[in-house]
Amino acid sequence: MWSAIAGSLALTRTAPCRGFGGCAAIELADTCGENMTLEPPKDFDDLRRASARIGADPLLIQAAGGNTSVKEGGAMWIKASGTLLAEALTRDVFVPVDLAAMREALNAGAPSADRPSEFLFSPSALRPSVETCLHAVFPERVVLHAYCVNTIALAIRADARERLAERLDGFAWIFQPYIKPGAPLANAVSRALAPGVDVVVLGNHGVIVAGDTVGEAERLLHRVAAAVSAPPAETGRPNLEGLAAVAGDGYRPLEADHPLHGVALSPRLLQVACGGAFYPDHVVFCGVDATALAPDGTAGAAVARRAAAGLAPPVFMLVPGKGALIRSEASAGAQALARCLGDVLARFPPGASPVYLTAEQFAELLDWDAEKYRLALNAR
């Protein structure tokens, strides 16, 4: 059932729509049967341009992660699941959803709140972002959700709230400890939001900013990113010849300047990386653990040991003292998240205590239909 836009519109045409990067407006009819149209907001192109800028920065967005939205009346245009913000100007990556109906489902605790496709205004090959209901709880028109590397480097710490308070003095912000994305997270943020709060740092996840215009929200995102920024640690150069010698078939050394090498070259960071996974996209695209080779070990031997234990080959391997390897056939998403791990841990200081996702949290992500859908898109 679709709720009304401005109290009087109901969907009457079901022609497929690719999105609003160039898609014709959706025809609606009011309760008297007269044709009307659902047009994207006048600043929709501004959102597309901002999304493309944000999506092109690997310190803000990795692969198909992150999402942006704009509200107009009873509708919300939001990035589709599995699409790339970086392609917002060249592909259709946004879909319109019934904002009022989504909010009603959230308030009622309805299971449909975690099925955002049910709120589309027209059938589409694209699904709305898994974070659609999270965007819906903000009163501001524009919401930007980024996986800011510098923010994550703080948000995975046991003392995240205290360290963020030092950096975000002067911002209207709150910290939300990790909860599964989707309706559980949206409801938790909704309960925590107070009037005027326009920055939410998500533990083990990322950051959300909100504003009434695209420009306001984008400027706020960059202000937050600057406030929490930290220089990456210097860890030396990888031994590419040594990496090639242990890579064997199916793996290759990462590029010489890749940040993941630094994790393998630092005994401290290597220990942190092998302790578990920190944030949802890493679990989805790279798995729940990091594999470090034993002294004098090879990639082939590590794969064989994992196969004997019923485990898939790892996306990447850390070779202590030498650097990092990656599977030759690793997907674009996996490659982006391997870089993200290197970028995050390069900013994880000595003495900090990490917070890892739990086995139960791994399971709820990997068993979630929404994440299986994103993985299938990424594989294609």
H-type alpha helices, the chain: 44-55, 99-108, 132-136, 149-155, 160-167, 183-192, 214-227, 240-247, 260-265, 267-273, 280-286, 299-308, 332-345, 359-366, 369-379
- Percent of the chain whose predicted confidence (pLDDT) is above 70: 87
Quote the tokens at residue 33: 């049967």
What per-residue confidence (pLDDT) applies to 137?
98
pLDDT tens digits for 259-269?
Answer: 999 999 999 99
Nearest-angstrom CA–CA distance, 254 and 271: 20
pTM of the model: 0.88
What per-residue confidence (pLDDT) applies to 3?
33
Q: Is the pLDDT of residue 351 over 50?
A: yes
What per-residue confidence (pLDDT) applies to 368?
54
Please state, as a whole number, how many other Cβ atoms lie within 10 Å of the Cβ of residue 241. 9
Nearest-angstrom CA–CA distance, 323 and 262: 7
Q: Is the pLDDT of residue 257 over 90?
A: yes
Average pLDDT of the residues in 271-279: 95
What per-residue confidence (pLDDT) applies to 198?
98
Quote the tokens at residue 373: 């859908």
User: What residue segments make up the domains of the chain, in order of their start?
Assistant: 5-227, 240-379
3-state helix, strand, coil in the chain (%, to 5): 40, 15, 45
Q: How many helices (H) and strands (E) does the chain have?
A: 15, 14
32 — pLDDT class (breaks 50, 70, 90): very low
What per-residue confidence (pLDDT) applies to 25?
52
Average pLDDT over all residues of the chain = 89
What per-residue confidence (pLDDT) applies to 122?
85
Nearest-angstrom CA–CA distance, 366 and 58: 24
Q: Which of 17-31, 210-224, 274-288 has the highest mean pLDDT?
A: 210-224
Higher pLDDT, residue 89 or 367: 89
Average pLDDT of the residues in 45-74: 96
72 — pLDDT class (breaks 50, 70, 90): very high
Nearest-angstrom CA–CA distance, 184 and 134: 9
What per-residue confidence (pLDDT) applies to 367?
76
DSSP string, 196-222: T--EEEETTTEEEEEESSHHHHHHHHH
pLDDT tens digits for 158-167?
Answer: 999 999 999 9
β-strand partners of 234: none
What per-residue confidence (pLDDT) applies to 83?
95
The Cα angle at residue 101 between residues 99 and 107, in degrees rounded to 5: 105
Please state which CATH class domain 5-227 belongs to: alpha beta
Higher pLDDT, residue 37 or 12: 37
pLDDT tens digits for 294-307?
Answer: 988 999 999 999 99
Please answer whether residues 150 and 225 qualify as being in contact, where contact means their C-beta atoms are separated by less than 8 angstroms.
Answer: yes
What per-residue confidence (pLDDT) applies to 86?
97
What per-residue confidence (pLDDT) applies to 369?
62
123 — pLDDT class (breaks 50, 70, 90): confident
Quote the tokens at residue 172: 């209207």
What per-residue confidence (pLDDT) applies to 184?
94
Three-class secondary structure of residue 72 per DSSP:
strand
What per-residue confidence (pLDDT) applies to 18?
37
Q: Which of 143, 125, 121, 124 is nearest to 134 (CA)?
A: 143
- Percent of the chain whose predicted confidence (pLDDT) is above 90: 80
Please answer whether residues 204 and 215 qualify as being in contact, where contact means their C-beta atoms are separated by less than 8 angstroms.
Answer: no
Q: Is the pLDDT of residue 323 over 80?
A: yes
Q: Is the pLDDT of residue 2 over 80?
A: no
* Main-chain phi, psi angles of 94, to 5 degrees: -115, 145
